Amino acid sequence: MTYDVEKIRADFPSLKSGLAFFDGPGGSQVPNQVGTAIAAAITQPISNRGVTTLSEKNAEEIVLGFRKAVGDLINADPAGVVYGRSWTQITYDFSRTLAKSWKPGDEIIVTTLDHDSNIRPWVQAAEAVGVVVRWAKFDTTTGELPTSAISELLNEKTRLVAVTGAGNTLGTRPDIQEIAQAVHKTNALLYVDGVHLTPHTPIDMQAIGADFFGLSFYKIFGPHCAAIAAKPELLKTLNNDKLLPSTSESPERFEFGTLPYELMAGCTATIDYIANMVDGSGSRRQRIVNSMAAAEKYEEELFEYMESEIKALPGVTLYGHAENRTPTLYFNLKGISGAEVHKHLAGLKVNAPASNFYALEVSRALGLGDTGAVRAGLAPYSTTEDVDRLIAGLRQLAK
Ligand X SMILES: Cc1ncc(COP(=O)(O)O)c(C=O)c1O
Q: Toward ligand X, which CB reaches closer, 193 or 272?
A: 193
Q: Among residues 272, 235, 265, 236, which one has the least CA distance to residue 90?
A: 235
Q: Toward ligand X, which CB reaches closer, 97 or 117?
A: 117
Q: Toward ligand X, which CB reaches closer, 226 or 345?
A: 226
Question: Which amino acid belongs to residue 25?
Answer: P
How many CA atoms lie within 13 Å of 320's alpha carbon, on the beta-carbon side?
32
Smallest distance, ligand X to C-beta of residue 126, A: 19
Q: Helix or strand or coil: residue 338?
A: helix
Rounded to 10 degrees, what is the CA torsion of 113, 213, 215, 357?
-10
Residue span binding ligand X (CB under 6 A) among the ranges 84-92, 147-155, 328-336, 391-399: 84-92
342, 374 contact by CB (below 8 A)? yes
Q: Toward ligand X, which CB reaches closer, 47 or 86?
A: 86
Q: Toward ligand X, which CB reaches closer, 11 or 114?
A: 114
Site string for ligand X, 173-202 (x = CB under 6 A): --------------------x-xx------
45, 204 contact by CB (below 8 A)? no
Site string for ligand X, 224-253 (x = CB under 6 A): --x---------------------------
Q: Toward ligand X, which CB reaches closer, 65 or 194?
A: 194
Smallest distance, ligand X to C-beta of residue 148, A: 22
170, 362 contact by CB (below 8 A)? yes
Q: Which of residues 281-340 bind ligand X (CB under 6 A)?
A: none
Query: Judged by CB under 6 A, does residue 88 bind ligand X?
Result: yes
Smallest distance, ligand X to C-beta of residue 88, A: 3
Integer Cα distance of 376 and 122 in angstroms: 29
Residue span binding ligand X (CB under 6 A) among the ranges 62-70, 85-93, 246-254, 266-274: 85-93
Cα-flanking dihedrals φ and ψ of residue 316, to 5°? -95, 140
Give how many residues touch ligand X by CB under 6 A. Answer: 15
159, 134 contact by CB (below 8 A)? no
143, 323 contact by CB (below 8 A)? no
359, 164 contact by CB (below 8 A)? no
Instruction: By CB under 6 A, name the one of 33, 47, 55, 86 that touches ligand X.
Output: 86
Smallest distance, ligand X to C-beta of residue 19, A: 19
Smallest distance, ligand X to C-beta of residue 233, A: 26
Q: Toward ligand X, which CB reaches closer, 29 or 58?
A: 29
Q: Which of residues 28-57 bind ligand X (CB under 6 A)?
A: none
Q: Among residues 194, 222, 172, which one has the least CA distance to residue 117?
A: 194
Residue span binding ligand X (CB under 6 A) among the ranges 32-40, 80-88, 170-178, 339-347: 80-88
Alpha-carbon 2 to chain mean position: 25
Farthest CA pair distance, the chain: 69
Long-range contacts: 244-249, Cβ < 8 Å, 24+? Answer: none
Site string for ligand X, 136-165 (x = CB under 6 A): ----------------------------x-
Q: Which of residues 89-118 bind ligand X (CB under 6 A)?
A: 115, 117
Smallest distance, ligand X to C-beta of residue 130, A: 27
Rounded to 10 degrees, what is the CA torsion of 162, 168, 172, 174?
20
Q: Among residues 227, 117, 220, 102, which one has the least CA distance to residue 164?
A: 117
H or E, element range at 350 = strand 350-351
Question: Which amino acid belongs to residue 253?
Answer: R
Smallest distance, ligand X to C-beta of residue 198, A: 10
Contact residues for ligand X (CB under 6 A)?
A: 25-26, 86-88, 115, 117, 164, 168, 193, 195-196, 216, 226, 358
